[in-house]
Amino acid sequence: MAVEGKVHYNSPPGSNGETDFFQVFRWAYPNTTGVNAPTTAGTYSYTYTYKRLSTWVDTSIYTIAFVQNDINKEVINSGRGYYIATGISNLNNNVPEKFSLSQNYPNPFNPVTKINFSIPVTGLTTLKVYDVLGNLVYSLVDGNLNAGNYSYDFDASDLSSGVYYYRLTSGNFTDVKKLTVIK
């Protein structure tokens, strides 16, 4: 399951006035019933994929995995690991000379497009998608990236057709481009 360590709301979501919540459940794989694991001795590996919402904070997301007895629901073993974003890849080890944000391709698109960008210095980098009203719809990248050339495969399958804007911010650099989703 995916858990967010701390969630802060500017206005209280509930009636008790609380604005900070800790260990917030975000997602279960593949659902709340989990996955049946083999009972024979051996090493088993599981990979799961989920789409995180724009309100999640990457540096606060972690994963909890546990083995539970099917009969009495006793947790036999558990472990915790941190969220690792995939879908973004460093294209090579060459350090670019300047910041750049390329036009997504293809554009218009349905449902996946590629966004390429370059950052010449290591630092906090964000890549976010907004609707035409300026509302944040996706936070694709939000964390420290090493200097390099990057490519992000953006899946907009749950967005409506329309025009959106994506913004790259890194250091003092900011650039915005327009993308169009067609269904």
Environment class of residue 151 by beta-carbon count within 10 Å: exposed (0-12), middle (13-18) or buried (19+)?
Answer: middle
pLDDT at 130: 94
Specify the pTM.
0.54
pLDDT at 158: 81
Query: CB within 8 A of 28, min separation 6: which ones?
Result: 1, 2, 34
| Low-confidence residues in the chain, pLDDT < 50 | 82-84, 86
**Tens-place pLDDT, residues 44-61:** 666 655 555 555 555 555
Name all domains of the chain by residue range, CATH numbers in brackets: 2-82 (no CATH), 88-181 (2.60.40.1930)
Q: How high is the pLDDT of residue 144?
A: 81
